[in-house]
Amino acid sequence: MTEALPATAEVIEREPESFANVERNFAKVDGLIVPLERGNRRAGYELHYPGPDQFNSDGLNFTFRIYQQLGVWDESVLLVVLKLIGQRGVILDPNPAGPNSRQVRDDLNEGGDALAQKTLLLRDTSYSEILRHMALNPVGRSRRLLRESLQRFSAITLWVKDRIGNEGNSNLMVARASSNGDLRISVHYLLARSFLSETLWARVDLSERWRLSGDTAKILHRWLSAWLDVGETQPAKLSTLERHVWGDVSTGMDRAKRFYLLRQALREIDALGSGWRVSGVDQRGDAVCSITRRPRSTLGERAENRPALTTLSVESEFVAGDSKLAIEVPV
């Protein structure tokens, strides 16, 4: 079932080219963001990826402590925030000189290696700006849902561990709102790597995402954008894609329903045209599909991952006096 959007939602003209950079390892985490049945969110659990005491191909292990499960609405919020960070975010050094910058670092509740990592801050945004980039009316129910989504992200703690035992942790995101409606959003150092590294990033085409209607298609599109480089073709079984969308595997009628949704999603992605080509969808059973991410002659695809981000200085510090958007998580 597609996650419900606000009844007051209004489609607003979007930018012709719109991209979000996501840290590649983060974008391939299974089960963090899943299709949700309406009103049904798991609460108070941990997610280990790729598993307890296991490491992915880059030698990393992730543990998420999650207060409320994330769905496609939340994913859209995150992607828009990352898009805006790429356009005008500022770099926060590990030991910033200004008191307000130090408060931002303190709000992230960092520990271990996180204390020595640079991260990023988005200043002077607003609920209205984020919702406009999601092509939604920036008033009414949309605004409440956005606030709740930012609270969910702020209540997630992420631990990152490598094979030799280095480990760092912090909140995934922290959002603060001022009395005049401005928002200030800082992010986990892992998410910052998508802008501070020349290799650890994946580019998600938001102009393509907004054309997809199904939750399964949107989640799969994000995962495929991290899995496939531009110009690459790979085979994928439906049972493999199932795990990447839902975070687990099913049997019987549940699997048949998921395979049906995956076939619909792959057809949607193929119908995007210039960016993707998918074949083999109509095979029976656990079909092996061939998926190609096709080159596109656009500035967005050619651009190097070098956004013009500057380091926040004492002279350019923001004005304090805002309040933290955070769910009070019971101890």
pLDDT tens track for 143-157: 999 999 999 999 999
CA angle 152, 260, 214 (to 5 degrees): 40
Please write the tens of the pLDDT for every residue from 255-275: 999 999 999 999 999 999 888
Q: Name residue 27's amino acid.
A: A
Q: Which two tokens stand for residue 63?
A: 């543990």
Token reading at 133: 């980039």
Of 218, 243, 204, which Cα lies nearest the Cα of 30?
Answer: 243
- According to DSSP, residue 242 is labeled H
User: Do 81 and 22 form a contact (C-beta atoms < 8 A)?
Assistant: no
SS3 245: helix
Contacts of 295 (CB under 8 A, 6+ apart): 230, 231, 301
- The DSSP secondary-structure symbol of 271 reads T
Q: What is the pLDDT of residue 321?
A: 54
What does the pLDDT look like over 54-66, one tens digit per residue? Answer: 999 999 999 999 9
Residue 169, strand partner residues: 111, 159
* pLDDT band for position 232 (cuts 50, 70, 90): very high
Helix locations, the chain, DSSP H: 24-27, 72-88, 99-107, 127-133, 141-154, 189-196, 206-209, 215-227, 238-246, 252-270, 299-302
Cα–Cα distance, 148 to 142 (Å, whole number): 10
What is the overall mean pLDDT for the chain?
87
pLDDT band at 304 (very low <50, low <70, confident <90, very high): very low
- Phi, psi torsion values for 276, nearest 5 degrees: -145, 155
User: CA torsion angle for 311, 14, 128, 37 (degrees, to 10)?
Assistant: -100
Is the pLDDT at 327 greater than 70, yes or no?
Answer: no
The 10 Å Cβ neighbour count of residue 141 is: 15
Nearest to 181 by CA among 229, 130, 126: 126
* Cα–Cα distance, 63 to 51 (Å, whole number): 9
pTM score, two decimals?
Answer: 0.88
- How far, in Å, CA of 239 to CA of 243, rounded? 7
CB 244 within 8 A of CB 289: no
Chain Cα centroid distance, residue 51: 20
Residue 12 reports pLDDT greater than 90? no
Question: Which is more confidently placed, 20 or 39?
Answer: 20
Which residue is associated with the tokens 């054309």?
211
Lowest model confidence (mean pLDDT) among 120-129, 231-240, 293-302, 309-318: 309-318
| Domain ranges, ordered by start, for the chain | 19-211+299-318
User: By C-alpha distance, which of 186, 244, 197, 236 is closest to 218?
Assistant: 244
Extract the tokens encoding 321. 């006096």
Q: What H or E segment, with its residue span, contains residue 277?
A: strand 276-279
3-class DSSP state for residue 113?
A: helix
Helices (H) and strands (E) in the chain, counts: 11, 16
